[in-house]
Amino acid sequence: MSEIWRLSAVELAARIRNRDVSATEAAQSALARLSAANPAVNAVVDHRPEDVLAQAAAVDAALARGEDPGILAGVPVTVKVNVDQAGYATTNGVTLQKDLIAAVNSPVVDNLRRAGAVILGRTNTPAFSLRWFTSNIVHGETRNPRNPALTPGGSSGGAASAVAAGIGHLAHGTDIAGSIRYPAYACGVHGLRPSLGRVAAYNAVLPERSIGGQLTAVSGPLGRTIADVRLGLAALSAADPRDPWWVPAPLVGPEVPRRAALCVNPEGMETEPAVVKALQEAARRLTEAGWTVDTLESIPPLQEAADLQIRMWMADGYDGMLAAAEKEGDPGALVALRGQRDKAAGADLSSFSAVLTRRATLTRLWELFFAEYPILLLPVSAELPFPDKLDLQGDAAYARVWRAQMTQIGVPFMGLPALSVAMGRAMSSVGQSPVGVQIVAGRYREDLCLAAGEVIEAAGEPVSIAEPEAR
């Protein structure tokens, strides 16, 4: 029973529902793995074993009464520290919020609990969830369990590091500019950014989100199998009246032709050879499974979408964000914000309105594209996962990071879903590195991303559990 933590979320939920394994045994196994692996990675920064065991006992009691505990029956999952969990601080990686204790759960936590999940712990994020690297003053630095010289990604770096190291069977993350997809890529797991409105969002302990956040930030699952990611999405996407933008869209849409587009150098992106090779291999696997895959040189505007996404995200309350970062004194947050000062400069009602107007045009162009090609294969990043803290190595390094992440930044501007699929390993400048691909689809067609992801996954090696090196 000590190795229960190795099971997939799908398999564990089935075993618990069949009473082959108790939720308490699963929780004990998960806590033991957390104790063994977390000191090396610092992925989980807040957890209470007694609370975990109490949640598990409640699942076991429901089963004993003959009740269905939900699709995640007893599965230990982690949640990010930027969402409300009653009794815990919603720190978002900053000391300014370390005493901001939530009185009620966010919809994310409530939906996971209603699905029968056991919340194992809370995962790390960079300060203000602003970087593709994960460190902060209040919780410290998270390491990549597959190679500590690499970034674990961000901002859901703790989530990806945890699930890659076998700490929890599923992880919750958030994504406004790649914060699920990039950590999944960097840590060699799968991660889904759902469509805008698919997963309800609300933090009662914080002020209402800005317009930029409301239009682009989403929550989604990370896992070691695509089936687990699918299960996580089903749990997370339940209705919650606190989010006025939640959309009651079906999780499975109508049948479409098995036709995909492949673009390895979108808008001239200088995609490195190892990433190109992974994309071509993903296309080959789809082709062998009966898909038609066309290689395209041109796709609808993505660089423009990325530029406008940054403007909408950064300009909306920029001065307040910068003042908070200066008060916090976090070097990563300050570099991230100061580096985008030009995007925020001169923002007024007229320019912000122009951004929102253009958003409608670009979204239309992309939806028309997906009417012809139901899915699109893109790089997650132009580069293999970065050496850790690369963005702090001067102006040129900072510009390099943001340039490589164009596809991650651009996709959220239209509210599109995208799946990061792990594709094994490649050799980087700092040793062995995960590599993967990004699958994008039209709005509310996460099912197409997942279906294509399962084809790619099935033809490769399963995602392994990392054994992180002790500090």
CA distances from 394 to 96, 137, 349 (A): 27, 20, 33
Identify whether 420 is a catalytic site residue: no
Sign of the dihedral through C-alpha 121, 225, 444, 404: positive
Separation of CA 59 from chain center: 27
Cis peptide upstream of residue 161 (ω within 30 degrees of 0):
no
Identify whether 464 is a catalytic site residue: no
Cβ count within 10 A of residue 273: 9
Q: Which is catalytic among the residues 106, 155, 161, 420?
A: 155
Instruction: Characterize the bridge pairing of strands 292-295 and 259-262.
Output: parallel
| Closest to 326 in 3D by CA, of 341, 315, 316, 337 | 337
Q: What is the largest CA-CA distance in the chain?
A: 62
- Three-state DSSP state, 212: helix
- The DSSP letter of residue 129 is G
Q: Which is catalytic among the residues 29, 179, 219, 237?
A: 179
Instruction: Characterize the bridge pairing of strands 431-441 and 418-428.
Output: antiparallel
Per DSSP, helices labelled H in 299-429 are: 303-315, 318-328, 331-338, 341-344, 349-372, 395-404, 406-410
Q: Which is catalytic among the residues 8, 22, 80, 343?
A: 80
Size of the chain in residues: 471
Separation of CA 12 from chain center: 22
Structure tokens at 163: 């699930």
d(CA 352, CA 309) in angstroms, rounded, equals 11
Identify whether 80 is a catalytic site residue: yes
d(CA 160, CA 152) in angstroms, rounded, equals 7
| Closest to 436 in 3D by CA, of 375, 387, 379 | 379
Catalytically active residues, by annotation? 80, 155, 179
